[in-house]
Structure 1
Amino acid sequence: MRSSLGLACLLCFITWMSLVQATHGPVSSCCLRWSTTMIQLDRIMNYTIQSEGICPIKAVVFQTQSGNRLCSDPNNRWAKRAMKKVNEKTKALLKVEQNEQGSASDNKPAVSTTPKKEPLKKGTGRKPTKT
């Protein structure tokens, strides 16, 4: 009797934890504090904004070329400069991609260089007679 009650409690706890995990996502991905580290701006690939709600603080999460994450204060002057640099780089890349796609679609279809047969004129379709 005691073992079935313990098993029922364990199942309820596991179910509850699964629901919390499914609705809120893994808490380990949240920035819990801001870093004061300032890396070279050209090493930053992209960023995301972490809002308060599930996570305890609002932060800018920078993704580096090496795959590291750096959590910064969104009001920090360096963080604002870094976000601006990433936005400019992304905008430039999009412009290049659009130009490449546009130039590929601007190509006109190839025109055949073989001469077309002209329609036969009246009376020229017969073989000449020998005399």
Structure 2
Amino acid sequence: MTTGERESSIKRFLRRIAASDAELEAEDLQRGSAESGCTPARSCGRGQLVTVTGRLRTVVYTPRTNLPTLEADLFDGTDVVTLVWLGRRHIAGIEPGRMLTVRGRVAMRDDRKVIYNPYYELETPR
């Protein structure tokens, strides 16, 4: 191991010791997203057909007079994409903390990235 590699290894070690749990989780999610070949959420733009993988932060049923919706925030370590299933009150397996890979077209709603009725795959826990 060269001196430069050793210094780099020490810096990574010290960074991991000093980092918060949220920072470490974000790094792990980013690494997993990159390994799977998915699009980072921060790179998603309006109209793009994307595949994003991450962890569900929140899942909320929103009763509306015309059309109920199930909404979930998917975090991949770089940004959040809101997933909206129209006409759904509950979907088995869609719960906070669950790992998920979704595909769909990105829309913007109130300056937030949204995918309506995404195709999804529940990931098995690591």
TM-score range (shorter-chain normalised) is under 0.3
Larger Rg: 1
Give TM-score, length-normalised by structure 1.
Answer: 0.25
Higher relative contact order (CA 8 A, sep 6+): 2
Give TM-score, length-normalised by structure 2.
Answer: 0.26
User: In proportion to residue count, which structure has more helix?
Assistant: 1
User: In proportion to residue count, which structure has more strand?
Assistant: 2
